[in-house]
Structure 1
Amino acid sequence: MIHIELPLLVGIIALGIACQWLGWRLRIPAIIPLLAAGFGVGPLLGWLHPQELLGDLFFPVVSLSVAVILFEGALTLEFREVRQVRRAVRNLITIGAVITLVLSALASRWLVGLSWPLAILFGALIVVTGPTVIGPLLRNIRPNHQVASVLKWEGILIDPIGALLAVIIFDVIVAEGPGQAWQLSALVTFLRILVIGGVAGAVGGIFVAAALKRYWVPDYLRDIFVLVVVLAAFAISDVLQSESGLLAVTVMGVWLANVGLHQLHDVWHFKERISVLLISGLFILLAANVSRGELALLGLGSFVLLAVVIFVVRPVSVFASTIGSRLSRNERLFLSWVAPRGIVAASVSSLFAFRLQELGYQEAELLAPLTFLVIVGTVLIHGSTSKWWARRLGVAEAEPQGFLLLGATPFSRMLAEVLKGEGFRTLLVDSNRHNVRLAQLQGLEVEHGNLLSSIVQEELDLGGIGRLLALTSNDEANALACLQYRGVFGSDEVYQLPPDVEGEPDNGPAYAAGTMGRLLFGPDVTFDRIDFVVDRGAQVKATPLTEEFPYEAYQAQWGDRAIPLLMIRGKEVVVATVEAPLQPRPGWKLVSLVTEA
């Protein structure tokens, strides 16, 4: 006989993955359908009761899941990046974070009646604007490069900083105890949490770094090895001193992010392989665990608090942080409107609420639903209005004309140099480190990684970019990239090289099956042909066409030694495709791959 728990667990996983797919399909943060599904099967329909389902394992499962999420976020905090980003970002993650914490704490104290300790903790929880919600919004809104860069880096860097801040404040509350004045014993407990959590995290980081640097662990075990050490550091730290485990995994993540591990990029796949399943199940469990009684606690004051967070706290934080910056007034107004909360706030608030209620803070039952209200409210309001607001303020790029190039091969680099010289933003992505280094030496903007990876997709800044050219030797990768980025650029602005198959393109099903984008340049202009002519000295050149030197004269001069690629007039671009060959006219610049005689 199959117990009811088994189909419930499978159903949670299946529902979570379905919500992830729906978020991808609708181009919205997955947290929206995940929380909606959780509230639906939990407090609204009463089908799922997580604490009854998991029993005594519920709290350990949530704790370990949150530990992994915090570790993953901390892995992105490289100190050199904090130093390198523009002053506005540094101010937002420091001055802005403090302003957000203080104003949110005051508002929750006066409007909802939280005690000062919980009000300060709530303020710390909503400091975080994570990249998992910012990324989809930026891809949909397409703001200018400067605004997109600020929002992207704020989301990445504030994630671990805000989580660490919330953990420290939580540890202070735990050390103090409910209804107690600050005493020497509370100070000792807090110091024990800091020391044990910090030491456990540092030791775990040192151990993992040494194991990876010395190749003690084979590649196929590396991700699982890191996961096990993270969980071990959390458990050991928490056993030695209650509530120090979250600090330990955060310190461990920050340590590993800053020790110069060249394997760190591979460790990031840890997030890709684990977090989708983990987050999918966790958020349904957390939302379903909120009772109708807790939702009923959200009175008028809670919704006024949400309005204060959106209309007062964020604008004050942004304008104070951007004093003296190069951002225009409209850019600052737009930044003031975009601050959706996400995964860290939801998961950590739920965990803290459980623990604080166990410790005697009865009002902590309001912490999770109040945080969920801010998350859902900010994501829905910002997500539905930001595109309109960006266009109204003139910070959205109506028709971005830049190029995302898959592959940093010699041909791609030559093409990128010409396009950059014509004033177009070009971004190359390649998983080959040698190609990436050569592109960097040429002064090109390039990212190392797999364009199909969710990690790379989250971190890419696509401001100013309006099309994809898939130019690798791998026809399948080119097709999948076009399929993936149809939703970003539209199906008319994703291009790939013609697949290298036998026979004519119109006659073979293999040709059509290998294409997901518009076919570039010409039916026979495959990667192999391009590579062949480049090896023999072909160059990408831009040639102005005039009344005195029209396209017919250009053809007479170069003949078959020129492969037309695209043509440019000002900021207008037309890309050559199989179904729409170029028809260059005077006044345009013709960009071709030219082989000298």
Structure 2
Amino acid sequence: MTLATSLVLVLVAGLGSQLLAARLRIPAIVILIAVGLILGPIAGLVDVDLEPEQLSELIGLGVAVILFEGGMSLRFSEFRRVGKGIGRLTVLGPPVAMALTAIAARYVGGIDWPVALVLGAILVVTGPTVIAPLLRQAGLRRDSAALLKWEGIVNDPIGVTLAFLTFQLFALSEGGLGSIATGLLYAIVVGGGMGAGVGLLLGVSFRRGWVPSHLKSPLLLVAVLLVAGLGNRLQDETGLLAVTAMGLVLGNMRLAEREQLLHFKEGLTVVLVSSLFIVIPATLTADDLRALDWRIVAFVAVLMLAVRPLTIWLVTLRSDIPTPDRRLLAWIAPRGIVAAATAGSFGPAMVAAGYPDGALLVPTVFLVIIVTVVVHGFTLAPLARRLGLTTGARNGLLIVGASPFGLALAEALRRRDVLVTVADGRYQSLQPMRMAGVRTYFGEVLSEHADEALAESGVSHVLAATDNDYYNALVARSLGIEYGFHRSFQLAPAEGTGERRALTFERRASFAFDGRTDLVTLDERIAAGWRIHATHLTKEYGLRELAQRFGGDEDAIPLGAIDASGAFRLVSPDQRFLPLPGSTFLYLGAARQPATGAVPRVDDASDGTATGA
């Protein structure tokens, strides 16, 4: 098989595994490793015909891009909230975790001390590429998620640097424990300083327009690779610390294109993670897998059940980290691509340096990855819920803009257990909402304060419903990045705008409801006595019969549907869906409908009473 064919096969297998994992709602790394083992040791379809040193350098470049993207996603505002906890996890955590893991590897796994210490350093890392999707699925509170995210991203380059310095101590017989501390300090100060300086320089050049827009993403990618290479020239594995610091500085500068740059890097990271988790397992042989005996399995169990809890207990002792967060941290520590890549680099090098147990590094680390990802992936959400660290189910509507129609819609949804928050920058406009008991947010909904305040409000859909069509588009497009563009809507523009004068679809969000009715019309209907009604759909009376009813009452405006499980969706001509039997369909109609035989039962959402159809 040619190199080009192998590359295409790896990319197709990697992205296909990601899609399958997303569909099945399971951690993608589990499928990626399984596919890599099938394509490599089992089927022999992927053969990485590169020298170990060359493969290690290529993998290192990919890891550099991944860590840069992780650093860029960190916000200083998170550090201000939980900075003391982050400091303990990232300063005290690595040496304690390394020592305890090495002891377990030696006395439980039966691995020689030099290899055990390198393994301890490698397993300091808790992969950000694994943590991030798990946090999204679990719906953790912001502070709890920040602790896990910062630990994963910051400790990754520290763990890799510790692994290199420990390897250097034993394989090259250079220095002692003092050299490890000195080398780590050098990597943090010099490598981190260089990365931060380059990040600052790039940020200033982007702000001042020195770089054309179409060249910013490519230039950023090249800069990441360059900084990683220069950092490794200063000291091996220092490049990872440098690119993490570079991403941290650049991500916290006020850049107009920050989200665009971050999304570009996120997409690239998905491709790299998918490819690396196919390539690295493919380098394993059947002999490598057979080397995993019961002692290695016992080591993995001790690592999860004793080493991690003891590490967290020691580093958080007498800290202000809440007890539920400590318990969660004591259990959750999945490993990811950085651990796999580092093991792939140092395993063969340890064997070449005269340490046979180095052959156990790669298969042991992969076993740790598989077990931790599977176990922690399926237990994170239940444990977080039990500890009270989740935001609850995301099944709510954020209405931006207080209005009579917004109040009517909020009350109708609240009666059916759908969470509703109304946001407005005019305090007096929110008074009717507050009097009705509707949750409100006063202020600019696109502010950082709103981002923090609404993080735990259970919002799943956004409806921009102010009297400014262009502001509606701005809000819905901006919040669509977080909640999904398929869940962000705006009201139709005012009459008379005209198609040619209106915003194009690429610059606005999907129109809500029938796609024609604007806020003025909706408020006028409410003032005229119209009410929001709810129709229960059955097998006998479904979507077709409902459409026939609307055909006879052209003024009725469809609003949304709540399925049998309680999940809510807004109606939109741009996001069509079919409400299933058992769903409750909401629409705005006249207060009293003429009696027809078409609708056997219509519940009035305003007061919960049944009215004749």
Q: Any idea what the Cα deviations from partners look like across 1:469-493, whole Å, max 9, x if unmatched?
A: 354549997999999699xxxxxxx
Superposition deviation, residue 22 in structure 1: 1.1
Contact 1:482 1:495 in 2 (8 A): no
Letter in 2 for 1:584: A
Which of 444, 464, 476 is 2:450 aligned to? 444
Residue in 1 aligned with 2:554? none
> Is residue 280 of structure 1 aligned with residue 274 of structure 2?
yes
Q: Structure 2 matches for 1:501-540, cutoff 5 A? A: 523=514, 526=517, 529-530=518-519
* TM-aligned CA distance change 1:501 to 1:325, over 3 Å: same
**135 and 55 in structure 1: CA distance in 2 versus 1, 3 angstrom threshold:** closer
Aligned-residue offset at 1:264: 3.6
- Is the Cα–Cα contact under 8 Å of residues 131 and 334 in structure 2 kept in the other structure? yes
Q: What is the aligned partner in structure 1 of residue 378 from structure 2?
A: 384
- Aligned partners of 1:124, 1:421: CA distance in 2, in Å? 58
Assess if the C-alpha contact under 8 Å between 2:32 and 2:274 holds in 1.
Answer: yes
> What's the counterpart of residue 341 of structure 1?
335
Equivalent residues in 2 for 1:110-125 (5 A)? 110-125=107-122
1:290–1:441 distance in 2 versus 1, CA, 3 Å = closer
1:556 is aligned to none
Superposition TM-score, scaled by structure 1 size: 0.69
Alpha carbons of structure 1 residues 155 and 131: separation in structure 2 relative to 1, 3 Å: farther
Instruction: Measure the CA separation in 2 of the matches of 1:587 and 1:439.
Output: 31
1:313 aligns with 2:307: yes
Q: CA RMSD in A?
A: 5.0
Structure 2 residue aligned with 1:127, among 124, 127, 130?
Answer: 124
Structure-2 change in CA distance of 1:423 and 1:369 (3 Å): farther
Q: 1:382, 1:58 → 2: CA distance?
A: 30
SS of the counterpart of 2:604?
coil
Matched, 1:580 2:573: no
> What is the aligned partner in structure 1 of residue 65 from structure 2?
68
Partner Cα distance (1:128, 1:482) in 2: 27
Deviation at 1:105, TM superposition (A): 2.4
Deviation (angstroms), 1:440: 5.8
Cα deviation for residue 564 of structure 1 reads 12
CA–CA distance in structure 1, aligned partners of residues 377 and 234 of structure 2 = 43
What runs of 5+ residues in structure 2 fail to find an aligned partner? 407-419, 425-429, 465-471, 496-505, 532-556, 573-584, 588-602
Give runs of aligned pairs for residues 449-460 of structure 1, distance below 5 A: none
AA in 2 matched with 1:345: A
| Structure 2 CA distance for partners of 1:476 and 1:18, relative to 1, 3 Å | farther
* Cα deviation 1:416-457 (Å, max 9, x = unaligned): 3667898888899xxxxxxxx83267963369xxxxxxxxxx
Mapped contact 2:422–2:439 kept (Cα < 8 A)? no
Q: Note the alpha carbon deviations across 1:206-231, whole angstroms, 9 max, x for none.
A: 44234323322111111110111221
Structure 2 Cα separation of the partners of residues 476 and 414 of structure 1: 15
Deviation per CA, 1:301-337: give whole Å up to 9, x if none.
22112212222233334455275657455x6545533
Does the C-alpha gap of structure 1 residues 215 and 97 become closer, same or farther in structure 2, counting only changes over 3 Å? same
Q: Relative to 1, partners in 2 of residues 1:148 and 1:97: Cα closer, same or farther, differing over 3 Å?
A: farther
- Is contact 1:294-1:369 (8 Å) kept? yes
Give, in angstroms, the shift of residue 11 of structure 1. 0.9
CA contact (8 A) 2:402 2:423 kept: no
1:132: how far off? 3.5
Q: Quick one: structure 1 residues 422 and 533, their matched pair in 2 at CA, closer, same or farther if it must change by over 3 Å?
A: closer
Query: Is the 2:392–2:458 Cα contact (8 Å) retained in structure 1?
Result: no
Q: Which amino acid aligns with 1:415?
A: V
Larger mean CA deviation between 410-419 and 238-247 belongs to 410-419
User: TM-score, normalised to structure 2's length?
Assistant: 0.67
Question: Where in structure 2 are the equivalents of 1:82-231 lying within 5 Å?
Answer: 82-85=79-82, 87-142=84-139, 148-178=141-171, 180=173, 182=175, 197-198=191-192, 200-231=194-225
Q: CA deviation at 1:81?
A: 3.0
Task: Spell out the pairing of 1:467-486 with structure 2 (5 A cutoff).
Answer: 467-471=460-464, 473=473
CA offset at residue 128 of structure 1?
3.3
In structure 2, the CA distance between the partners of 1:348 and 1:470, relative to structure 1 (3 Å rule), is: farther
Q: Which residue of 1 aligns with 2:422?
A: 415
Letter of the structure 2 residue corresponding to residue 416 of structure 1: A
Local SS of the residue matching 1:415: strand
Contact 1:314 1:339 in 2 (8 A): yes
Q: What is the distance in 2 between the residues matched to 1:324 and 1:155?
A: 16
Equivalent residue number for residue 23 of structure 1: 21
Residue 182 of structure 1: CA displacement? 2.8
Q: Structure 1 CA distance, aligned partners of 2:170 and 2:128?
A: 34
Q: Residue 228 of structure 2 aligns with which residue?
A: 234
Alpha-carbon deviations, 1:61-116, whole Å to 9, x = none? 21211222222223234455323226555544444555433322221222223444
Contact (CA 8 Å) 1:322, 1:332: kept in 2 or not? no
Match of 1:595 in 2: none
- Distance change (3 Å), C-alpha of 1:206 and 1:104: same
SS at match of 1:280: helix
Alpha-carbon distance between aligned partners in 2 of 1:234 and 1:469, rounded to the nearest angstrom: 40
Identity of aligned residues (%): 30
Classify 1:481/1:496 alpha carbon distance in 2 versus 1 (closer, same or farther; 3 Å).
farther
**Distance (Å, rounded) in 2 between the aligned partners of 1:122 and 1:42:** 24
Cα distance change on mapping 1:302 and 1:80 into 2, 3 Å: same
**What corresponds to 2:344 in structure 1?**
350
Deviations, residues 398-431 of structure 1 (Å, cap 9, x unaligned): 75654456xx567799823667898888899xxx
Deviation for aligned residue 1:286: 0.8
Shift of 1:234: 2.5
- Tell me, yes or no, if the aligned pair for 1:204 and 1:230 is still in contact at 8 Å: no
What letter corresponds to residue 268 of structure 1 in structure 2? Answer: L
Quote the Cα distance in structure 2 between the aligned partners of 1:48 and 1:161: 33
> Aligned partners of 2:450 and 2:253: how far apart in 1?
26
Alpha carbons of structure 1 residues 389 and 172: separation in structure 2 relative to 1, 3 Å: closer
Q: Larger C-alpha radius of gyration, 1 or 2? A: 2
Shift in CA distance, 423/291, structure 1 to aligned 2, threshold 3 Å: farther
In 2, Cα distance between equivalents of 1:426 and 1:284: 48
Q: Cα distance 1:222–1:478, how it changes in 2: closer, same or farther (>3 A)? A: closer
Per the alignment, do residues 442 and 364 of structure 1 end up closer, same or farther by CA in structure 2, a change over 3 Å counting?
A: closer
Q: Secondary structure at the match of 1:340?
A: coil
